[in-house]
Structure 1
Amino acid sequence: MATTDYSRLTRALPFWICLSSLPVLGFAAYMGGWWLLILFAYTWMFFGLMDFLAGLNTGNPDPETPETALFWHRLVTLIWLPIQLVVIYGAIYYATHNGAYSWAEKIGLLASVGILSGSVGIVFSHELMHQKPAFERHLADGLLASVLYSHFRSEHLKVHHPYVGTPRDPVTARYNEGFHRFFPRVLRGCARSAWGAERAFLARKNLPVWHHTNPFWKYGALQFICLWMAYLMGGAAGIGLFLVQAGMAIWQLELVNYIEHYGLTRKHLGAGKYEHCQPHHSWNADQRFTNYVLINLQRHSDHHYKPSRRFPLLQTYSAEDAPQLPMGYAIMGLVAMIPPLWRRRMNPRVRAWRRKFYPEITDWQAYNKAQNPMPK
């Protein structure tokens, strides 16, 4: 291997840390019992601990790096779909054909798989859906279908990115809105807004909503295939366990969505228009280890500023330009599950953000009431 290729490989290897979850899951499946909780401890607690040990990474790569130099970074996202499918359906088959497993263990195993498909699979699908090559977008659709959340692509690209920080985006968590209220609201709102976005897109081309180019046809077909494969692996029980896996993955996705924009809003300019999305409209986090695990998803300020920029090239921002989370997503996700603790940590930061970036708005309660017709 040439020196240049070796250097590129070594720079990419930390982003392959997600693969370490596979032997942990295999060990948990073999041991059964309480060992099935180990993947949760590994991904949410151990990774959080590693953030403290590894510290912050505030360095920025050259955003003009050619795509040919990112092969080893991209490769991990390209190979994940077959890995995830083997893990999901292998776990269903193992759980339904292992006579020693109790029902609690079967559910625990597939919940553990859901941690993997949510913390890795959906994150990778998010990266892939933003890219131009059709092959990568097809991989993203496959990953989302495997957790029964295919409409996320339409909602994310055609609703969330254009309208983040505004009342039109159901995924932007409102100030003082706890996750336990946010989650059911988003489950209802995302599918509806995704369908509405595709319907409006087709209408602009004078096409009916049932036209074959509506991606919901593809979403439905892929999700049906995923459920059918679950049935082949384990019958009706296999479908039930597949739903456990999918539910766990979706919970993780929306927990991250909750963290990324909590309490942040874009200024209304009148006539239904809002200011352009800037780095200060997303929470930024520089925790090195979780950024390796989540392929720089925590550099979310730059992702919304430059959505098509590949994950190895995402930039980070100082507190002068973007609001900073006190800890990485791994720990902040646990905090978000305890609303009083979350509000204690985050509400003062939201208020400081308001004073810094929008000092002219003195009554935020009245401002949000006027701009936000959605339920609190």
Structure 2
Amino acid sequence: MNALHYLKYFLFQGIGLLAALSLLAGGIWTSAGLLAILAFYLVGDAIAGDDTSTPHFKHPGILTVQLWLALPLLGFIVFAALWSVSAGDPLGFGAALSRLSGRDLIAARDATAGIHHVSAWLLTGLMIGMIGTITAHELTHRTWDRVSMLIGRWLLAFSFDTVFAIEHVYGHHRYVSTTEDPATAPRGRNVYWHVLVSTLKGNLSAWHIERRRLARKGQSLFGWHNAVLRGHAMSLLLVAAAWGIGGWRVALFFIACALWGKALLEIVNYMEHYGMVRNPATPVQPRHSWNSNRRISSWSMFNLTRHSHHHAQGEVPYQDLRPFPDAPMMIGGYLTTIMVAMIPPLWHKLMTPKVLAWDAHFANEEERQLAAEANRRSGIAAMAENAHARRLG
């Protein structure tokens, strides 16, 4: 097989290293790194087209190890970010790196303006979402692989979201596109409200799932066997490590980065399932998720873009996911769609026609009835009019 098919999935490593170098360089370089990564995705997805290939990989173990490498990479990125806002030089890291590079990194860091620290926060949260959550999403689906599960949960700990390994796998995949799924945004919902609601309901769902699991095994709810409590303890350890690196201010900076990374996950949930409807008693089909085959997003996000196949067959490893070019399609690549979702008026202007087209061309008759009711509740005039017209027809 062409080595490019393996190498393309290492693209995220290069992006992560660029982020770390930008954070360490300080000053305008941090903001430049953020802008360069945003441009890479926005422009790259716009001009590079779609990737609909599904090559066969003879050595999938290479791709698994590559996923595991996300943990040390994310640890390095976050350490670089915490160092960049620290008043001291933990572990003598800056002095050592300055000697190696010939650049006075400590002086550059200390001269960094506040606006560039905002860029550091945005960039670090973005990396927690991309390097951390996206990789953990793939790893925590491999419930039969204890190493992958452990690494995946530690990656999720950086965004205070280890419950994702419970709720997403055992809750979301069962109830996706129904009113019982916290991650599926109903028609008309604002993305910022969805971040709050999905986070709260997702945590409650994970707690109930874990409580039932422990009850079946006869184990204590408030003990070491509780994966929810263990997961939160993992996140607290990371906060404590941040405090140890630079005190309470650095710990607060890490918390802010983690919460931004978590918010990105919920924005992605929002755009992946917005407005979809399904009877929970029926099987999940590719039509029940918004899909994208944009080349840059696909290569650097482990085919997360091929969401339609993933929800139809959640156990399929990312490299074997099929593109389903006839599935419902997102507005664009992932980062492009994220940015549109964060502007609610633009989102609803672009997505309302897509949702109504889904009703007409993808939904079965039962789902059209569910969609008509959802349209009436949406508060969006075009949807309500469509529901009214359907009722009269």
Q: TM-score, normalised by structure 2?
A: 0.83
Aligned to 1:181: 193
Question: Contact 1:8/1:70 (CA < 8 Å) preserved in 2?
Answer: no
Give yes or no for the alignment of 1:337 onto 2:342: yes
Determine helix, strand or coil for the equivalent of 1:274: coil
| Length, aligned pairs only | 355
Q: Percent identity?
A: 27
Pick the aligned partner of 2:286 from 260, 279, 286: 279
After superposition, residues 1-376 of structure 1 pair within 5 angstroms as 7=1, 9-62=3-56, 69-96=59-86, 97=88, 98-131=109-142, 132-267=144-279, 273-319=280-326, 322-358=327-363, 360-361=365-366, 363-364=369-370, 367-368=373-374
Whole-Å Cα distance in 2 between the matches of residues 312 and 251 of structure 1?
26
Whole-Å Cα distance in 2 between the matches of residues 111 and 253 of structure 1?
14
Task: Give the letter aligned to residue 86 of structure 1.
Answer: F
Whole-Å Cα distance in 2 between the matches of residues 358 and 17 of structure 1?
36
Question: Contact 1:284/1:298 (CA < 8 Å) preserved in 2?
Answer: yes
Change (3 A) 1:277 1:124: same
**Displacement after TM superposition at 1:201 (Å):** 2.1
Question: Contact 2:31/2:116 (CA < 8 Å) preserved in 1?
Answer: no
Question: Contact 2:289/2:308 (CA < 8 Å) preserved in 1?
Answer: yes
For residues 14-46 of structure 1, what are the alpha-carbon distances to aligned partners after superposition, in whole Å with 9 as ceiling and x for unaligned? Answer: 111112224432443355344433344333332
Task: Give the letter aligned to residue 108 of structure 1.
Answer: S
More displaced stretch, 209-218 vs 154-163: 209-218
For residues 344-363 of structure 1, what are the alpha-carbon distances to aligned partners after superposition, in whole Å with 9 as ceiling and x for unaligned? Answer: 11111111111223352555
Question: Contact 1:9/1:72 (CA < 8 Å) preserved in 2?
Answer: no
More displaced stretch, 205-214 vs 360-369: 360-369
Task: Give the letter aligned to residue 72 of structure 1.
Answer: I
Query: Structure 1 stretches (4+) deviating beyond 6 angstroms?
Result: 369-372
More displaced stretch, 209-218 vs 157-166: 209-218
Change (3 A) 1:219 1:27: closer
Greater RCO structure (CA 8 Å; 6+ sep): 1
**Displacement after TM superposition at 1:145 (Å):** 0.9
Whole-Å Cα distance in 1 between the matches of residues 28 and 223 of structure 2?
49
Whole-Å Cα distance in 1 between the matches of residues 219 and 120 of structure 2?
45
Whole-Å Cα distance in 2 between the matches of residues 354 and 43 of structure 1?
36
Whole-Å Cα distance in 2 between the matches of residues 164 and 190 of structure 1?
12
Question: Contact 1:283/1:301 (CA < 8 Å) preserved in 2?
Answer: yes
**Displacement after TM superposition at 1:177 (Å):** 1.2
Question: Contact 2:160/2:232 (CA < 8 Å) preserved in 1?
Answer: no
Question: Contact 1:266/1:281 (CA < 8 Å) preserved in 2?
Answer: yes
Task: Give the letter aligned to residue 273 of structure 2.
Answer: H
Whole-Å Cα distance in 2 between the matches of residues 198 and 38 of structure 1?
43
